Amino acid sequence: MRTYALYLVRRFAQFLLVVFIGINIAYLITHLTPVDPVEQAISSVTMFGQSSPEMVEVMRKTLRELYGLEGSPWEQYVSFWRRMATGDFGPSLSAFPTPVSTLIWQALPWTLGLLVSSTLIAWIVGNFLGGLAGYYRKNSLLKALGILAMSLQPIPYYIVAFILLVVFGYLWPVLPISGGAEMNIDRQGFAFAASIVRHSILPVLSLVLVGLGAWFIGMRSLVSNIVTEDYVTYAELGGVDRRRILFSYVMRNALSPQLTGLALSLGAIFNGAIITEFVFGYPGVGTLLVRAVNSGDYSLVLGITSVSIIAVATAILVIDIIYPLLDPRVARS
């Protein structure tokens, strides 16, 4: 127990260090970018006519003060960590004065809904079919599925998304191809939920089609190795029901690495599915991040990146905390 406690302390310290270093790197990168939010804001005004040089100077000075960009780089850095300690990412520079956290919280449910569902569907279906394919190696239908999975995996995501758009948005236009829900729909009740589901079918399908292949192939290889183990052969010779061998002996053992992969995938969804959200015009963190980068809003970029770093590090931490309970050798090592 003491070993496990020590392991936990060490692992938590590591977690804090990783988060601290990760956020610092993100801070450095965002602040080294040549895109200046003040200049972006001025460009957006002057591009359409107001270009008196005097006016530009006054506006530049006022905006720098307003955005809190005055002060030395060190003062800005200290003020950033002071705010971070209270979970405050500060105001967005492209949507000033709305707090970054408000923007992230508005976008996050869409991304979580989309990516959690597609990741879980791809994981469950991919592993289930991959397990079957690894166990029933001579089944022609499963072989065909294997070929399909191998063929789908290398296709760039946006091609699959575009094909779905054309098929279900143009050739047989039965599904919405844009947005998260219908316009002007009452946001309470079943109709809104049904609209969200309908709008998520194509983005989820595109993510599942591409993601499923990797889980399928991974599980098939794991199962293919396990079925050659002595205990499986022994169980088969002993006349144990094949379905029981598959699900209780083989797939259960093969699931550990797949669970790790699932946890990492779930942690990474806080990044948002940038291409998916862009292609399907889906509201979410990915769309928010692209807009933040384009407008030089480094407060927002940093907020999204920090949430993502914390999420991934937390996912890994959770896995690492659970593993030693299953296998004590991990804590000792």
Partner 1 sequence: MRIMRVLAFFASAWLIAQSALAQGISNLPREETIIIENPQGTITNPPWFNIWMVARGGNSNGLQQLGMDTLWYIDPDAGIDGVWDNSLAADKPQYNADFTEMTVKLRDGIHWSDGVEFTADDVVFTVQTQMKNPSMIWGPVFLASVDTVTAPDKHTVVFKLKRPNSRFHATFTVRWNAAWIMPKHVFEKVEDPTKFDFNPPVTIGPYKLHSFDPNGKWYIWEKREDWQRTSLARHGEPGPKYAAYIDPGPPDKRVILQLNHQLDIIHDTSPEGVFTLIKQSPTSQGWFKGFPYAHPDPTLPAVMFNHQVEPFQNADVRWALALLIDIKAVSMASYRGAATISAIGVPPTGLYGEYYFDPLEQWLTDFEIDTGKQKYKPYDPTVGQQIADMLRPSMGEQIPTDPKEIAKAIGRGWWKPNPEAATELLERAGFTKQGDQWLKPDGTPFSITLLVEGDQRPVMTRAGTMIVQQWRQFGIDAKTQAYPSDFFPRVESGDFEAAIAWSVETWGGHPDLSFFLDSWHSEFLKPRGERQPPRNRQRWTHPELDKIIEEIRTIDFDDPKVQELGQEYIKLAVREMPIIPLMSYNVFTMMDTTYWTGYPSADDPYTNPVSNWANTKYMFVRLKPAKAQ
Tell which positions 137-166 bind partner 1, by CB under 8 A: 162, 165-166
Q: According to the binding rule CB under 8 A, does residue 40 interact with partner 1?
A: yes
Q: According to the binding rule CB under 8 A, does residue 278 interact with partner 1?
A: yes
Instruction: Give the list of residues 6+ apart from residue 287 with CB closer than 8 angstroms, or none.
Output: 107, 272, 274, 277, 278
Q: According to the binding rule CB under 8 A, does residue 29 interact with partner 1?
A: no
Query: Hunting for tokens 């940038």 — which residue is that?
Result: 274
Question: Within 73-92, which residues bind partner 1 (CB under 8 A)?
Answer: 92
Q: Applying CB under 8 A, which part among 80-88, 145-153, 218-226, 275-283 lies near partner 1?
A: 275-283
Cβ 280 to partner 1, closest distance in Å?
Answer: 7
Residue 92: DSSP 8-state: -
Query: Hunting for tokens 């030693």 — which residue is that?
Result: 324
Interaction mask 178-217, partner 1, x per CB under 8 A: xxx-xxxxx----x---x--x-------------------
Query: Hunting for tokens 């889906």 — which residue is that?
Result: 282
Task: Decide if 15 contacts 317 (C-beta within 8 A).
Answer: yes
Q: What are phi and psi of 161, to 5 degrees?
A: -60, -45
Q: Which is nearer to partner 1, 49 or 87 (CB)?
A: 49
Of 6, 16, 17, 55, the one binding partner 1 by CB under 8 A: 55
Q: According to the binding rule CB under 8 A, does residue 175 interact with partner 1?
A: yes
- Report whether the peptide linkage leading into residue 53 is cis, meaning its omega lies within 30 degrees of zero: no
Type of residue numbered 216: F
Question: Within 236-265, which residues bind partner 1 (CB under 8 A)?
Answer: none
Q: Applying CB under 8 A, which part among 17-25, 61-69, 77-85, 310-318 lies near partner 1?
A: 61-69
Residue 68: DSSP 8-state: T
**Count of positions on this chain that bind partner 1 (CB under 8 A):** 74
Q: According to the binding rule CB under 8 A, does residue 59 interact with partner 1?
A: yes
As a whole number of angstroms, the distance between CA 186 and CA 196 comes to 12
Cβ 206 to partner 1, closest distance in Å?
Answer: 14
Burial class, 297, CB count within 10 angstroms (exposed 0-12 / middle 13-18 / buried 19+): buried
Question: Within 90-129, which residues bind partner 1 (CB under 8 A)?
Answer: 92, 94-98, 103, 106-107, 110
Question: Within 281-310, which residues bind partner 1 (CB under 8 A)?
Answer: 281, 283, 287-288, 291-297, 300
Of 156, 173, 257, 328, the one binding partner 1 by CB under 8 A: 173
127: Cα within 13 Å, side-chain hemisphere:
19
As a whole number of angstroms, the distance between CA 158 and CA 276 comes to 8
CA nearest neighbour of 180 among 157, 158, 204: 204
Q: Which is nearer to partner 1, 80 or 110 (CB)?
A: 110
Q: According to the binding rule CB under 8 A, does residue 52 interact with partner 1?
A: yes
Q: Which is nearer to partner 1, 293 or 311 (CB)?
A: 293
Of 24, 43, 139, 233, the one binding partner 1 by CB under 8 A: 43
As a whole number of angstroms, the distance between CA 112 and CA 177 comes to 19
Q: Which is nearer to partner 1, 116 or 166 (CB)?
A: 166
Query: Coil, helix or strand for 91?
Result: strand
Q: What are phi and psi of 99, to 5 degrees?
A: -65, 145
Number of other residues whose CB lies within 10 A of the CB of residue 271: 19
Cβ 169 to partner 1, closest distance in Å?
Answer: 5
Cβ 316 to partner 1, closest distance in Å?
Answer: 30
Q: What are phi and psi of 91, to 5 degrees?
A: -80, 150
